[in-house]
Amino acid sequence: MALAIKFLTETPHALAQLKKEQDMIRSRKGKSEALEWNDYKSMPFTQCVIDETLRVASTNSGVFRQAMTDVNVKGYTIPKGWKVFVSLRAVHMNEDHFKDARTFNPWRWQADSGTNSMSLFNPFGGGPRRCPGAELARVELSIFLHHFVTQYRHVVLDSCRRRSVGVLSNNKDAKAVSHYRAAPGNLERLKPRKSVELWMGA
Ligand code: HEM
């Protein structure tokens, strides 16, 4: 979630398109009416934002596997018992498969973008040990982003700009930030007046 906010903040055009999609969904519903499955299923651009966030900066960089027998991969033998680290990040950052791989570009996932790298996109791993929480994670991210863009404004504090941390506020005067101070460990604690506190890694 934090990384999605970071990328959206740095890509205002994507944030605007996401907000438009989510505002449309909210406009069909009562102010505090909960989202339903049909709403979730009508967020194509939001799913592109989630996919691209997971591609560029998934917190999980890869998966381990153990060879149960000698395995031959393109002429190399992985002996029985060896543990192998499959770097999902290396695949997701491979320029051969993802043009301008280091750029956050949610539009690359749009159906008409001509992308053919879907089979190489595995932020949740693969096979029988694939993450069982994959769909739950997507739903949670979608619901979070819905409320984030339809109810709050996100302001990056000047003093934090280089670290990409910011303040989440449902207060019109979101700039009325009282203070922010370093918290123990790597976290920064942002404590805006009359707003939601947001903690992000520095
Ligand atoms: C964006 C969020 C998430 C990411 C990127 C993620 C990613 C992963 C990855 C890469 C694996 C290893 C899969 C493999 O070995 O092939 C994994 C395993 C697992 N994940 Fe997730 N996950 C996420 C959210 C969740 C959630 C929300 C839950 C549960 C509510 C969950 C539960 C699990 C469990 C139990 C495993 C172990 C599966 C096994 O070893 O059989 N994950 N996850």
Query: Quick one: what percent of the chain has pLDDT higher than 90?
Result: 63
124 Cβ closer than 6 Å to some ligand 1 atom: yes
Nearest CA to ligand 1 atom 40: 129
Q: 176: which DSSP letter?
A: -
Strand-strand pairing, 71-73 and 76-78: antiparallel
Residues linked to residue 190 through DSSP beta bridges, in sequence order = 180, 198
pLDDT single digits (tens) 41-65: 999 999 999 999 999 998 888 999 9
Paired residues of 85 in beta bridges: 64
Q: Whose CA is nearest to atom 21 of ligand 1?
A: 131
Question: Would you say residue 138 has pLDDT above 80?
Answer: yes
Q: Is there an atom of ligand 1 within 6 Å of 130 CB?
A: yes
Q: What is the pLDDT of residues 163-182, one digit of tens each?
A: 544 555 555 544 433 333 33
pLDDT tens digits for range 1-22: 889 999 999 999 999 999 999 9
> Does the CB atom of residue 121 touch ligand 1 within 6 A?
no
Distance of alpha carbon 94 from alpha carbon 15, whole angstroms: 25
**CB 64, CB 18: distance < 8 Å:** no
Domain boundaries, the chain: 2-59+90-151, 152-202
Express as a percent the part of the chain with pLDDT over 70: 76
Integer angstrom CA distances of residue 40 from 45, 72, 84, 143, 189: 11, 43, 37, 8, 31
Say if residues 29 and 40 touch (Cβ distance below 8 Å).
no
51 lines ligand 1 (CB under 6 A): no
